[in-house]
Chain A
Amino acid sequence: MNREKKQAELITEISGVNPLKCMKCGKCSASCPSFEEMDIKPHQFVSYVANENIEALVNSKSLWKCLSCFACVERCPRDVKPGKLIDAARQLVIRQRGQEYLSPDEIPALLDPELPQQLLVSAFRRYRR
């Protein structure tokens, strides 16, 4: 299996998003406050993942322009939620940089009584081997 195919699979796995559900309506891009800043637009993120065009995606400016406001997640009529894909692509980059692993000793120092439980769960999903 080639590298990009693996990466695309990892992105769909981390995000829990099925890019094939997209009907290309563009409501994500229409909702996005950072649309003008992005070189690859939110609706294109979906087809980049579906077409396993991952290198271009992770090297795009857009990856770091997304505000994670989740307007697209909220409004997507097809349950595709490009914001989650973007988030997963960022995760992929972080892992490649070797920052993906939290050692158990580091965790107590990072805990905070205000921390939402959900964040713990998603942190375990993200920062694993």
Chain B
Amino acid sequence: MQRIGVFVCHCGSNIAATVDVKKVVEMAALEPGVVHAEDYQYMCSEAGQSLIAKAIQEKQLTGLVVCSCSPRMHETTFRKAAERAGLNPYMVEIANIREHCSWIHKDMEEATRKAVILARAAIAKVNLNTPLQPGESRVTKRALVIGGGIAGIQTALDIADAGYEVDIVEKTPSIGGRMSQLDKTFPTLDCSACILTPKMVEAAAHERIRIYTYSEVEKVSGFVGDFTVDIRKKARSVDMDKCTGCGVCQEKCPSKKTPSEFNRGLNNRSAIYTPFAQAIPNVPVIDREHCIKFQTGKCGVCAKVCQAGAIDYEQKDEIVTEKYGAIVVATGFDTIKLDQYDEYAYSQSKDVITSLELERIMNAAGPTKGHLERLSDGKPPKEMVFIQCVGSRCADERGKSYCSKICCMYTAKHAMLIRDKYPDVNVTVFYIDVRTPGKNFDEFYRRAVEQYGVNYIKGQVGKVIPQPDGKLLVQGVDLLDNRRIMKEADMVVLATAIEPNPDVRKIATMLTASIDTNNFLTEAHAKLRPVESPTAGIFLSGVCQGPKDIPETVAQAGAAAVKAIGLLAKEKLTTNPCTAKSDELLCNGCSVCANVCPYGAITYEERQVNDHGIREVRRLAVVNSALCQGCGACTVACPSGAMDLQGFSNRQIIAEVDAICR
């Protein structure tokens, strides 16, 4: 028989205002096995924990029930307190009388009745608890970073600098990400390439960083500390070791009609290409879909002109399997598609562009060599209109419900840069709200208005009407003086909402990392654990977790790196002892459990058993407790009731149900 102590917490007024805690103590004391019951204002406090320790020693308690908040909140606290007092931590059960009871009920009598029942169930369970010993699992001292933009690069650099090996997997032919497409960066207006390229070079040259470009994560198995990942290295058709990066193949390639992804389709690239001049690695890939050799068999110009003999049309996709202790997701974002926004004439006029397209136009290496000009006729614009919040803050199905956060600042940046370089160009910004929280951010925006004479008008634009003469008629209102505005513009720039990279869904599924309705990865705690996924060993870096600018991304990338380092620095991880166990006398080796196990933790072996004096060799299920995550799927599936989850045995669960129904 257990000697159980029951401790009922008031949680200030959180519980005590709705639950009669004295009554719970009184009723719990009557339950079988209970030798001690008391209440206290804050059981999690130092004093509350001492009460528990004292009772364990004085009353020789063998089991504890703490009636308090959710076990997610303080189960660890009370288990540690019990352990310090000499009790096995798995002899502690929590009856959640806060989230499951006081917070959701108004009537005191009802809530008290429910609290008593919840306590009774926990007591019934503890009566059947047995001490459990946690196991240990190893930590592979290598991290994987998925995505090679500024977030991924920074995380990888920080982890590598701490002394751990890191692999970056990047889908495109080069690392660099969105930041490499930007011209200047707010609020200091430094050139994006000038601050990013050194980081790219540093990552590529780092002895502890390996970069897999033009590669994708294909399969993930294992668990925290011990992930196994298959990486698909897509066939580059160019030998990375032989290529010298001279670029002759790209010059001579006769297929030059593929829209350049890097320049957002504003100009074309060759079929063999590097996305941009500073690409890392500086080794081109052949886009087989647009390569004449691959499509018709006739061409081979690149192979002929390559002095290094690096072109390899026979190259195949390769799967690399690696082990990792931690995985950081840094998959970034894209702008939303604008086909639902016909009123802004994006698909009707070449002179209606997104802000990211403007970045490429303003960039010296971009499609117009940095000259601000209309894409329709190459003429310099005189009137530019910027429209904010296109697709952001929408309650309808066309756009995104959230604020994309970066647009107010980059629009102010664009407006200022244009006014600075082309003082004769008039710039008008239509805004709903100007949101500029951040160090030196509002000052930046005010500079656009006060020093550069950018015309800010409050009011969302209704529509953009392309005119026969090629101008764009912008129809809006000035909400502050209730005035209709019909403005003829030469170019219209749409501050398009951003969304997580669409591939993130696939990756989140592989990692069993949770994702929200907007496809942003969910953090373990919105405030206190913002860079960790609820899935152990998975960390979040950059916009995959939510909209953010470059300074925030770099800060978060560092934070994700620290969390990953904290994991990699451990020699061993303690594993949850609540794993499945098979009863060899009941198991008939039917394989049902192995088929439902999501972790591949169950295998079979032929073994001699002694079944009540009968010795025979049987096929039996064996659980690898290092792999088992205690999900319980096998215990439900087992037709003979042989599989049981330690700490949550069938008997314990039934005892709880019985206690509730009593």
4 new A-B contacts at CB < 8 Å, known A26-B477, A29-B462, A71-B462: A21-B395, A30-B475, A41-B477, A77-B393
Q: Is the CB of B462 within 8 A of A31?
A: yes
Question: Which one of B389, B394, B479 contacts A43 once the chains associate, using CB atoms below 8 Å?
Answer: B479
Q: Is the CB of A35 within 8 A of B343?
A: no
Q: Is the CB of B394 within 8 A of A77?
A: yes
Q: Is the CB of A30 within 8 A of B461?
A: yes
The yes or no answer to A61 lying at the interface (CB within 8 A) is: no
- Most interface-central of B399, B477, B484 (chain A CB within 10 A): B477
What total of chain A residues lie within 8 Å of the partner, measured CB to CB? 23
Chain B residue nearest to A44 (CB atoms) is: B482
Question: Which one of A32, A43, A44, A79 contacts B396 once the chains associate, using CB atoms below 8 Å?
Answer: A79
Q: B285 → chain A, closest Cβ, in Å?
A: 40
Q: Is the CB of A27 within 8 A of B462?
A: yes
What total of chain B residues lie within 8 Å of the partner, measured CB to CB? 22
Q: Is the CB of A41 within 8 A of B482?
A: yes
Closest 7 CB pairs of A and B: A30-B462, A31-B462, A26-B459, A27-B460, A25-B460, A79-B395, A25-B432
> Provided the pairs A25-B459, A30-B461, A31-B462 are in contact, do residues A75 and B343 lie with their beta carbons within 8 angstroms?
yes
Q: A18 → chain B, closest Cβ, in Å?
A: 10
The yes or no answer to A57 lying at the interface (CB within 8 A) is: no
The yes or no answer to B80 lying at the interface (CB within 8 A) is: no
Taking CB atoms and an 8 Å cut-off, the chain B residues in 321-366 that contact chain A are: 343
Q: A113 → chain B, closest Cβ, in Å?
A: 34
List of B residues within 8 angstroms of A41 by Cβ = 477, 482
The yes or no answer to B371 lying at the interface (CB within 8 A) is: no
> Provided the pairs A24-B479, A26-B477 are in contact, do residues A32 and B462 lie with their beta carbons within 8 angstroms?
yes
The yes or no answer to B22 lying at the interface (CB within 8 A) is: no
List of A residues within 8 angstroms of B460 by Cβ = 25-27, 30, 77
Chain A residue nearest to B482 (CB atoms) is: A41
Chain A residue nearest to B457 (CB atoms) is: A26
Q: B121 → chain A, closest Cβ, in Å?
A: 42
Which residues of chain B have a CB within 8 Å of any CB of chain A? 343, 389, 393-396, 398-399, 432, 458-463, 475-477, 479, 482, 484-485
Q: Is the CB of B393 within 8 A of A29?
A: no
List of B residues within 8 angstroms of A28 by Cβ = 462
Q: A20 → chain B, closest Cβ, in Å?
A: 11
List of A residues within 8 angstroms of B393 by Cβ = 23, 25, 77-78
Chain A residue nearest to B463 (CB atoms) is: A31
Q: List 29 A-B contacts (CB under 8 A).
A: A23-B393, A23-B432, A24-B432, A25-B393, A25-B432, A26-B476, A26-B477, A27-B459, A29-B459, A29-B479, A30-B459, A30-B460, A30-B462, A30-B463, A31-B462, A31-B463, A32-B462, A41-B477, A44-B482, A71-B462, A75-B343, A76-B396, A77-B389, A77-B394, A77-B398, A77-B399, A77-B460, A78-B394, A78-B396
Q: Is the CB of B459 within 8 A of A35?
A: no
Q: Is the CB of A25 within 8 A of B389?
A: yes
Interchain CA distance A76-B343 in the complex, whole Å? 12
The yes or no answer to A36 lying at the interface (CB within 8 A) is: yes
Q: B124 → chain A, closest Cβ, in Å?
A: 48
Q: A115 → chain B, closest Cβ, in Å?
A: 29
Q: Is the CB of B394 within 8 A of A35?
A: no
Q: Is the CB of B482 within 8 A of A30?
A: no
Q: Is the CB of B389 within 8 A of A31?
A: no
What 1/0 mask marks residues of chain A from 5 to 35 whose CB sits below 8 Å from any chain B CB? Answer: 0000000000000000101111111111001
Interchain CA distance A27-B393 in the complex, whole Å? 13
